[in-house]
């Protein structure tokens, strides 16, 4: 059994980790930390876990994290980097759901997150935890920087058309790299479990708005990931929106097709690229995925379209921001790190309605 600790178990990603790990056939939950709620039974805060999780929250200072095989950080930015060196020295593997180990440049991290990076030596060895791109590196990793929710959907949606092998076969780039567009929408749980005016019921309900239009923290992460795939700079316009639902992401992606690729069967390209991926479903031609088709599951569903009389490629991507966009992807990564079947503990069917 894999002994697992969770730092910061009281937020939405924390309770989602608890839901998934409590059903995992190869996991023993050892510790769940919270300074404020120390001593409170987990099932008292989250009655949905009654009969599944019998632990109480413990203070991080006294939690037996060093006895774990892996520790998840479901915490605000900056927490994982402060505790990483000590845990790594004890032989513990780390999976961070925040941004401490996502951006490879400390200068970029400090620019976007407005805090110094305290352990660049750990960042240097950290692996970006997107299995569909970095599967083999994840297997060997000690430290994982888990992708953000928006970056997961955008990178997976653009991945097949940026694949260097596909470009080699076509004789050059399939899409114009200087005009990629990601028009993305998220439910309110993406903002976290905290009191905030913008996500109050009276503010978010019956409303639809863009935010962080001048620059969102996920932009450099998306750009870093896309450039790592294609091997050259890309230019991306990324606009996030808040929609009046609890969970789910819907990303509509646009790319201008190059002349050499105008006759390419993009549906077949996407189907080939993701044929062996356990959690990426390329839907039949003409489909329009819905966020509820992935709710509470680790699946991503993708539909590929070409508007009539246009050289635009339009890719529709849906995911659950708390599962494939966060905690479920964390469990998927853990499975890879410990040599387990990649879908262990993650075979839940999406819930409907």
Q: Which two tokens stand for residue 94?
A: 């780390």
Mean pLDDT of 289-300: 98
pLDDT, position 197: 87
Distances (CA, A) of 200 to 10, 221, 244, 322: 19, 28, 10, 19
Do 290 and 189 share a domain, yes or no? yes
**130-140 residue pLDDT tens:** 999 999 999 99
Could you tell me the pTM of the whole model? 0.96
Do 50 and 165 share a domain, yes or no? no
Mean pLDDT of 269-287: 97
pLDDT, position 211: 94
Do 89 and 213 share a domain, yes or no? no
Distance from C-alpha of 236 to C-alpha of 322, rounded to nearest angstrom: 24
Closest by CA position to 192, among listed 74, 32, 59: 74
pLDDT higher than 90, residue 200? no
pLDDT higher than 90, residue 66? yes
pLDDT higher than 90, residue 98? yes
Give the number of residues written for the chain: 353
pLDDT band for 199, please (50, 70, 90 cuts). Answer: confident
Q: Which two tokens stand for residue 328?
A: 């479920």
Distance from C-alpha of 169 to C-alpha of 109, rounded to nearest angstrom: 36
Q: Where are the alpha helices (DSSP H) in 171-303?
A: 201-204, 218-230, 266-273
Domain span at residue 67 reads: 2-125
Q: What are phi and psi of 331, to 5 degrees?
A: -70, -40
Do 155 and 276 share a domain, yes or no? yes
What's the mean pLDDT when you consider all of the chain?
96
Q: How many domains does the chain have?
A: 2
Lowest-pLDDT range of 66-70, 188-192, 210-214, 266-270: 188-192
Q: What residues are labeled active site?
A: 149
pLDDT, position 195: 76
Do 13 and 102 share a domain, yes or no? yes
pLDDT, position 31: 95
pLDDT band for 196, please (50, 70, 90 cuts). Answer: confident
Instruction: Note whether 315 and 180 are within 8 A (CB).
Output: no
pLDDT higher than 90, residue 193? no
Do 48 and 188 share a domain, yes or no? no
Do 76 and 172 share a domain, yes or no? no
In-domain check, residue 103: yes
Do 176 and 57 share a domain, yes or no? no
Residue 115 sits in a domain whose CATH number is: 3.40.50.720
In-domain check, residue 334: no
């Amino acid at each position: 059994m894999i002994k697992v600790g969770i730092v910061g178990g009281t937020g939405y990603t924390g309770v989602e980790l608890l839901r998934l790990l409590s059903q995992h056939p190869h996991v023993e939950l050892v510790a769940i930390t919270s300074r404020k709620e120390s001593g409170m039974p987990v099932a008292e805060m989250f009655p949905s876990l009654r009969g599944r999780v019998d632990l109480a929250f413990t203070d991080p200072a006294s939690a037996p994290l060093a006895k774990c095989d892996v520790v998840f950080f479901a915490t605000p930015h900056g927490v994982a980097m402060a505790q990483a060196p000590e845990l790594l020295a004890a032989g513990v593997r780390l999976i961070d759901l925040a941004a401490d180990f996502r951006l490879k440049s400390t200068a970029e991290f400090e620019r976007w997150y407005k805090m110094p990076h305290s352990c660049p030596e750990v960042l240097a060895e950290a692996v970006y935890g997107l299995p569909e791109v970095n599967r083999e590196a994840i297997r060997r990793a000690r430290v994982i920087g888990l992708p953000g929710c928006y970056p997961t959907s955008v990178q997976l949606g653009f991945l097949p058309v940026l694949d260097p092998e596909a470009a080699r076969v076509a004789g050059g780039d399939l899409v114009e790299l200087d005009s990629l567009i990601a028009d993305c929408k998220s439910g309110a749980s993406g903002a976290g479990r905290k009191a905030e005016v913008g996500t109050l019921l009276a503010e978010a309900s019956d409303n639809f708005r863009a935010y962080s239009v001048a620059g969102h923290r996920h932009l450099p992460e998306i750009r870093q990931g896309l450039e790592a795939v294609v091997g050259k700079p890309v230019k991306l316009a990324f606009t996030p929106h808040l929609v009046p639902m609890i969970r789910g992401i819907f990303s509509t992606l646009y790319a201008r097709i190059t002349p050499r690729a105008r006759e390419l069967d993009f549906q077949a390209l996407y189907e080939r690229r993701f044929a062996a991926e356990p959690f990426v479903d390329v839907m039949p031609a003409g489909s329009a995925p819905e966020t509820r088709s992935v709710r509470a599951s680790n699946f991503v569903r993708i539909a590929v379209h070409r508007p009539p009389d246009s050289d635009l490629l339009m890719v529709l991507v849906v995911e659950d921001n708390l599962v494939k966009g966060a905690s479920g992807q964390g469990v998927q990564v853990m499975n890879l790190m410990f040599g387990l079947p990649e879908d262990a503990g993650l075979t839940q069917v999406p819930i409907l309605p």
